[in-house]
Structure 1
Amino acid sequence: MEKLEYPIVAAVRDVNHMKEAIESRVEVIFLMSGDIFTIEECVAATRKYQKKIFLHIDLIKGIANDKEGLRYIAKRIKPDGIVSTKNQLIHAAKKEGLLTIHQVFLIDTQAYETAIKNVLDTKPDMVEIMPGLMPRIIRQLSQAAGCPIVAAGLIKTQEEIAQALDAGAYAVAIGERQLWTLVL
């Protein structure tokens, strides 16, 4: 993915906040809620503002977390890509021509080592690491994974955003709506 001019991603946890995300200065939205009835409208609204939207496929209700559900998303809903923790969905999304973000939770050394193994297997377009408050790990994982890193989770201040970006994060995904319009 090309470099973002504004490296904050709106992590939308409630579809009722989509309008605010779309009208903010973010270039990318991670939709982390919704269902089969609302996601199509959310994607269409995002298109009108020339923003990219990734559906967190593990969290969308009414869509099976399998190849067929993913094919439906790719052919009918047409987001830019998906976010998932599941290797098989990352592989399936790539086959459907969607951009992929492999989300990993780094709670200890074993989780970190498993994440590297999974990322090397799936070869996603990006990796989202949680929590995002780990500059050393952001640096290490971006070198090991060979793809851009999105830092997310527990980030609450402009200083924490700056630390993640300084450590080499491609972007920072934030659910706190007031941070979607920060001047960096």
Structure 2
Amino acid sequence: MEKKALMKNNPIIAAVRDVSLIKKAVLSPVETIFLMTGDIFSIEHCVEESRKYHKSIFLHVDLIKGIANDREGIKYLSQKVKPNGIVSTKNQLIQAAKKEGLLAIQHLFMLDTQAYENGIRNVSNVQPDAIEIMPGLMPRIIQELYEKIDCPIITAGLIKHPNEIRKVIEAGAQGVAIGEPELWYLDFKYS
């Protein structure tokens, strides 16, 4: 199963939870940033900073204040803010982003078997460019998903140690979104 590459060399994604950390993220060796905070007034600056340092940036639209969670909000982001893409739990926002030419990452919470099965169904119906699953410490689930769906898998949540990053990558995750700035600087490359 051939999956599109979102991260070319470094699987670590800077999950920025405080706008004041954007500079630290763009100066780190990560290639990709997930902006998980901010508002309509701060996101443009974050996107500009990311571009200046040749980083891809995805806006977690469910967490950004002042952007409506509708097609018009996505259209505004696409035309005015111009991130590489979005992250969202909402099927309609994933579809709207794809229509606007943005990459779309569907965020899934894997809480139980029903959430797992619903997630597979949603991915099949919506066809995001990648999925982000939480919690990230589930190598068996990552491996099963890798075999069942045809899009890259990004893990997030509860990952605190380099060996945990290695385990989820070995299980099939293409990327690991990490909120701990000191882990953004790990010299971790694909094997």
Pick the TM interval, shorter chain: over 0.9
Tell me which of 136, 139, 142 is aligned to 2:143: 139
Q: CA deviation at 1:183?
A: 2.1
Aligned residue in 1 for 2:116:
112
Of the structure 1 ranges 2-11 and 90-99, higher mean CA displacement relative to structure 2 is found in 2-11
Tell me which of 107, 129, 137 is aligned to 1:125: 129
Confirm or deny that 1:47 pairs with 2:73: no
Which runs of 5 or more residues in structure 1 are unaligned? none
Which of structures 1 and 2 has the larger relative contact order (alpha carbons within 8 angstroms, sep 6+)? 2
For the residue of structure 1 that corresponds to 2:14, the secondary structure is strand
For the residue of structure 1 that corresponds to 2:185, the secondary structure is coil
Tell me which of 19, 23, 42 is aligned to 1:19: 23
For the residue of structure 2 that corresponds to 1:129, the secondary structure is strand
Distance 1:31 1:4 in 2: 19
Confirm or deny that 1:62 pairs with 2:30: no
Q: Which segments of structure 1 move beyond 6 Å, counting only runs of 4 or more?
A: none
Aligned residue in 2 for 1:6:
10
Aligned residue in 1 for 2:106:
102
Matches within 5 A, 1:19-38: 19-38=23-42
Q: CA deviation at 1:4?
A: 2.0
RMSD: 0.8
Q: CA deviation at 1:130?
A: 0.3
For the residue of structure 1 that corresponds to 2:25, the secondary structure is helix
Tell me which of 65, 80, 83 is aligned to 1:79: 83
| Identity score, percent | 60
Confirm or deny that 1:171 pairs with 2:175: yes
Distance 2:147 2:90 in 1: 22
Which runs of 5 or more residues in structure 2 are unaligned? none
Give the partner amino acid of 1:78: K
Give the partner amino acid of 1:148: P
Q: Deviations over 1:47-78 (max 9, x none)?
A: 01111000000001001000001100000000
Distance 2:17 2:8 in 1: 22
- TM normalised by structure 1 equals 0.98
Distance 1:123 1:117 in 2: 10
Distance 2:148 2:39 in 1: 35
Give the partner amino acid of 2:172: G
Q: Between Structure 1 and Structure 2, how many residues are aligned?
A: 184
Q: CA deviation at 1:107?
A: 0.6
